[in-house]
Amino acid sequence: MSETFTPIRTLDARYYTDPEVFRIEQDGLLARTWQFAGHVSQLQKPGDYFAFDVAGQSLFCVRDREGAIRAFYNVCQHRAHEVVRGEGQAGLIVCPYHAWTYELTGALRSGPNIKAVPGFDRGEICLTSVNVEEFCGFLFVNLDPYARPMDEWFPAARRELSAFIPHHGSEARGMGGNSGKLQLEGLGRKLFRMLPLKAQPSDFCQRRGQAGNL
Protein backbone atom coordinates (compact mmCIF):
# COMPACT_ATOMS: atom_id res chain seq x y z
CA MET A 1 0.00 0.00 0.00
CA SER A 2 1.47 3.32 -0.99
CA GLU A 3 1.82 6.04 1.59
CA THR A 4 -0.46 8.98 1.04
CA PHE A 5 0.15 12.51 2.21
CA THR A 6 -2.49 15.02 3.01
CA PRO A 7 -1.37 18.30 1.52
CA ILE A 8 -0.84 21.03 4.08
CA ARG A 9 -1.33 24.56 2.91
CA THR A 10 0.66 27.51 4.11
CA LEU A 11 -0.88 30.91 4.64
CA ASP A 12 -1.83 32.75 1.50
CA ALA A 13 0.79 35.29 0.50
CA ARG A 14 -1.63 38.13 1.03
CA TYR A 15 -1.45 37.60 4.80
CA TYR A 16 2.11 38.86 4.61
CA THR A 17 1.44 41.80 2.30
CA ASP A 18 -2.18 42.97 2.66
CA PRO A 19 -2.28 46.35 4.49
CA GLU A 20 -5.72 45.49 5.88
CA VAL A 21 -4.41 42.29 7.46
CA PHE A 22 -1.52 44.27 8.93
CA ARG A 23 -3.96 46.83 10.36
CA ILE A 24 -6.07 44.09 11.94
CA GLU A 25 -2.93 42.52 13.43
CA GLN A 26 -1.81 45.85 14.85
CA ASP A 27 -5.15 46.79 16.38
CA GLY A 28 -6.38 43.37 17.41
CA LEU A 29 -3.15 41.68 18.42
CA LEU A 30 -0.06 43.86 18.83
CA ALA A 31 -1.92 46.65 20.63
CA ARG A 32 -3.59 44.26 23.08
CA THR A 33 -0.81 41.93 24.08
CA TRP A 34 2.51 42.20 25.89
CA GLN A 35 5.18 43.18 23.40
CA PHE A 36 8.94 43.24 23.79
CA ALA A 37 10.35 46.72 24.36
CA GLY A 38 13.94 46.26 25.51
CA HIS A 39 16.15 45.12 28.36
CA VAL A 40 16.75 46.55 31.81
CA SER A 41 20.45 46.93 30.99
CA GLN A 42 19.39 49.81 28.73
CA LEU A 43 18.03 51.71 31.75
CA GLN A 44 20.73 51.40 34.36
CA LYS A 45 20.60 54.92 35.81
CA PRO A 46 17.79 57.40 36.51
CA GLY A 47 17.15 59.37 33.34
CA ASP A 48 18.26 56.60 30.97
CA TYR A 49 15.70 56.25 28.19
CA PHE A 50 15.15 54.58 24.85
CA ALA A 51 12.48 54.97 22.19
CA PHE A 52 10.85 52.18 20.22
CA ASP A 53 7.72 51.39 18.20
CA VAL A 54 4.91 48.96 18.95
CA ALA A 55 1.81 48.51 16.81
CA GLY A 56 2.60 51.64 14.84
CA GLN A 57 2.89 53.75 17.99
CA SER A 58 6.03 55.60 19.03
CA LEU A 59 6.84 54.90 22.70
CA PHE A 60 9.70 55.29 25.11
CA CYS A 61 10.87 53.78 28.38
CA VAL A 62 12.69 55.76 31.08
CA ARG A 63 13.97 55.07 34.58
CA ASP A 64 12.73 57.74 36.98
CA ARG A 65 14.57 59.21 39.98
CA GLU A 66 13.12 56.61 42.35
CA GLY A 67 14.38 53.82 40.13
CA ALA A 68 11.02 52.84 38.68
CA ILE A 69 10.80 52.02 35.00
CA ARG A 70 8.07 53.89 33.17
CA ALA A 71 6.77 53.79 29.62
CA PHE A 72 4.98 56.55 27.73
CA TYR A 73 3.62 57.37 24.33
CA ASN A 74 6.36 59.40 22.71
CA VAL A 75 3.94 62.27 22.12
CA CYS A 76 4.10 65.76 23.60
CA GLN A 77 0.91 66.97 25.24
CA HIS A 78 1.28 70.36 23.57
CA ARG A 79 1.28 69.80 19.81
CA ALA A 80 2.05 66.09 19.64
CA HIS A 81 5.69 66.31 18.62
CA GLU A 82 7.82 63.30 19.60
CA VAL A 83 9.62 64.10 22.83
CA VAL A 84 12.67 61.80 22.60
CA ARG A 85 14.62 60.05 19.88
CA GLY A 86 16.83 56.99 20.02
CA GLU A 87 18.33 56.48 23.43
CA GLY A 88 20.17 58.59 25.95
CA GLN A 89 20.25 60.06 29.42
CA ALA A 90 18.38 63.13 30.63
CA GLY A 91 17.46 64.75 33.94
CA LEU A 92 14.25 66.07 32.39
CA ILE A 93 12.37 65.31 29.22
CA VAL A 94 12.32 68.38 27.01
CA CYS A 95 10.20 68.44 23.87
CA PRO A 96 12.36 69.80 21.04
CA TYR A 97 9.49 71.70 19.41
CA HIS A 98 8.44 74.36 21.96
CA ALA A 99 10.41 73.19 24.99
CA TRP A 100 7.63 71.90 27.16
CA THR A 101 9.52 70.12 29.92
CA TYR A 102 8.43 66.98 31.75
CA GLU A 103 9.64 65.23 34.88
CA LEU A 104 10.85 61.65 34.54
CA THR A 105 7.46 60.70 35.97
CA GLY A 106 5.84 62.23 32.89
CA ALA A 107 4.36 65.18 34.80
CA LEU A 108 4.57 68.55 33.08
CA ARG A 109 7.14 70.71 34.86
CA SER A 110 7.25 73.88 32.80
CA GLY A 111 6.74 75.45 29.40
CA PRO A 112 7.24 78.84 27.83
CA ASN A 113 4.32 81.17 28.56
CA ILE A 114 2.14 78.61 30.29
CA LYS A 115 1.83 80.92 33.29
CA ALA A 116 0.38 83.54 30.98
CA VAL A 117 -2.51 81.28 30.01
CA PRO A 118 -5.53 81.96 32.26
CA GLY A 119 -6.70 78.85 34.07
CA PHE A 120 -3.89 76.67 32.83
CA ASP A 121 -3.22 73.94 35.40
CA ARG A 122 0.04 72.17 34.67
CA GLY A 123 -0.83 69.61 37.33
CA GLU A 124 -3.40 68.19 34.96
CA ILE A 125 -0.88 67.61 32.19
CA CYS A 126 1.17 64.43 31.98
CA LEU A 127 2.63 62.28 29.24
CA THR A 128 0.31 59.38 28.52
CA SER A 129 1.63 56.31 30.28
CA VAL A 130 1.67 52.75 28.98
CA ASN A 131 1.72 49.52 30.97
CA VAL A 132 5.27 48.26 31.34
CA GLU A 133 6.63 45.20 33.13
CA GLU A 134 10.06 43.79 33.75
CA PHE A 135 9.99 40.07 33.10
CA CYS A 136 13.24 38.24 33.88
CA GLY A 137 15.23 41.27 32.84
CA PHE A 138 13.24 41.91 29.70
CA LEU A 139 10.90 44.87 29.37
CA PHE A 140 7.46 44.43 27.87
CA VAL A 141 4.72 46.96 27.22
CA ASN A 142 1.02 46.55 26.65
CA LEU A 143 -1.01 49.33 25.02
CA ASP A 144 -4.20 47.99 26.53
CA PRO A 145 -4.76 50.07 29.69
CA TYR A 146 -6.73 47.17 31.18
CA ALA A 147 -4.13 44.52 30.41
CA ARG A 148 -3.73 41.76 32.93
CA PRO A 149 -0.23 41.30 34.41
CA MET A 150 2.21 39.09 32.56
CA ASP A 151 2.20 36.55 35.38
CA GLU A 152 -1.48 35.96 34.61
CA TRP A 153 -0.84 35.69 30.89
CA PHE A 154 2.08 33.30 31.35
CA PRO A 155 1.63 31.46 34.65
CA ALA A 156 4.86 29.96 36.00
CA ALA A 157 6.94 31.27 33.09
CA ARG A 158 8.83 33.71 35.32
CA ARG A 159 9.70 30.98 37.80
CA GLU A 160 10.80 28.55 35.09
CA LEU A 161 12.99 31.10 33.32
CA SER A 162 14.48 32.25 36.61
CA ALA A 163 15.43 28.65 37.33
CA PHE A 164 17.47 28.60 34.12
CA ILE A 165 19.08 31.99 34.71
CA PRO A 166 18.97 32.90 38.42
CA HIS A 167 20.73 36.27 38.09
CA HIS A 168 19.18 37.54 34.88
CA GLY A 169 18.03 40.97 35.99
CA SER A 170 20.41 42.00 38.76
CA GLU A 171 23.62 41.19 36.91
CA ALA A 172 22.49 42.97 33.80
CA ARG A 173 21.71 46.10 35.81
CA GLY A 174 24.92 46.09 37.76
CA MET A 175 27.44 45.05 35.12
CA GLY A 176 26.29 46.64 31.91
CA GLY A 177 24.90 45.54 28.59
CA ASN A 178 27.48 42.80 27.94
CA SER A 179 26.22 40.86 30.93
CA GLY A 180 22.70 41.10 29.63
CA LYS A 181 23.89 39.86 26.26
CA LEU A 182 25.63 36.88 27.83
CA GLN A 183 22.49 36.05 29.79
CA LEU A 184 20.41 36.22 26.64
CA GLU A 185 22.80 33.95 24.79
CA GLY A 186 22.71 31.48 27.66
CA LEU A 187 18.94 31.51 27.69
CA GLY A 188 18.85 31.01 23.93
CA ARG A 189 21.04 27.91 24.13
CA LYS A 190 18.94 26.41 26.90
CA LEU A 191 15.67 27.10 25.17
CA PHE A 192 17.01 25.68 21.92
CA ARG A 193 17.73 22.38 23.64
CA MET A 194 14.15 22.33 24.89
CA LEU A 195 12.52 22.99 21.53
CA PRO A 196 10.73 19.91 20.19
CA LEU A 197 11.40 21.03 16.60
CA LYS A 198 15.13 20.52 17.11
CA ALA A 199 14.76 16.78 17.53
CA GLN A 200 13.38 16.04 14.07
CA PRO A 201 13.85 19.11 11.92
CA SER A 202 13.41 17.09 8.75
CA ASP A 203 9.85 16.23 9.73
CA PHE A 204 8.97 19.88 9.44
CA CYS A 205 11.23 21.00 6.62
CA GLN A 206 11.42 18.25 4.08
CA ARG A 207 7.97 18.36 2.65
CA ARG A 208 7.56 21.12 0.18
CA GLY A 209 5.26 23.89 1.24
CA GLN A 210 5.76 23.56 4.97
CA ALA A 211 9.08 25.27 5.37
CA GLY A 212 7.39 28.61 4.99
CA ASN A 213 5.83 28.26 8.40
CA LEU A 214 9.18 28.06 10.19
Q: Is 85 in the site for ligand FES (CB under 6 A)?
A: no
Distance CA 124, CA 63 (A): 22
Min separation Cβ 73 and ligand FES, Å: 13
Nearer to ligand FES, 95 or 165 (CB): 95
Q: Is 78 in the site for ligand FES (CB under 6 A)?
A: yes
Min separation Cβ 81 and ligand FES, Å: 4
Q: Is 158 in the site for ligand FES (CB under 6 A)?
A: no
Nearer to ligand FES, 59 or 139 (CB): 59
Distance CA 134, CA 64 (A): 15
Distance CA 88, CA 49 (A): 6
Q: Is 159 in the site for ligand FES (CB under 6 A)?
A: no
From 43, 93, 95, 127, residue interacting with ligand FES (rule: CB under 6 A): 95
Q: How many residues bind ligand FES (CB under 6 A)?
A: 9
Distance CA 90, CA 88 (A): 7
Min separation Cβ 26 and ligand FES, Å: 25
Distance CA 48, CA 155 (A): 30
x/- binding map, residues 98-137, to ligand FES, per CB under 6 A? xxx-------------------------------------
Q: Which of positions 57-76 make contact with ligand FES (CB under 6 A)?
A: 76
Q: Residue 60, Cα to own-chain centre: how many angstroms?
A: 9
Identify the burial level of 110 via C-beta atoms within 10 angstroms of its C-beta, where 0-12 means exposed, 13-18 middle and 19 or more buried. middle
Q: Is 81 in the site for ligand FES (CB under 6 A)?
A: yes
Torsion of CA 90, 95, 97, 100, to 10 degrees: -120
Identify which of 139, 141, 135 has the alpha carbon closest to the alpha carbon of residue 34: 141
Chain residues that interact with ligand FES, rule: CB under 6 A: 76, 78-79, 81, 95, 97-100
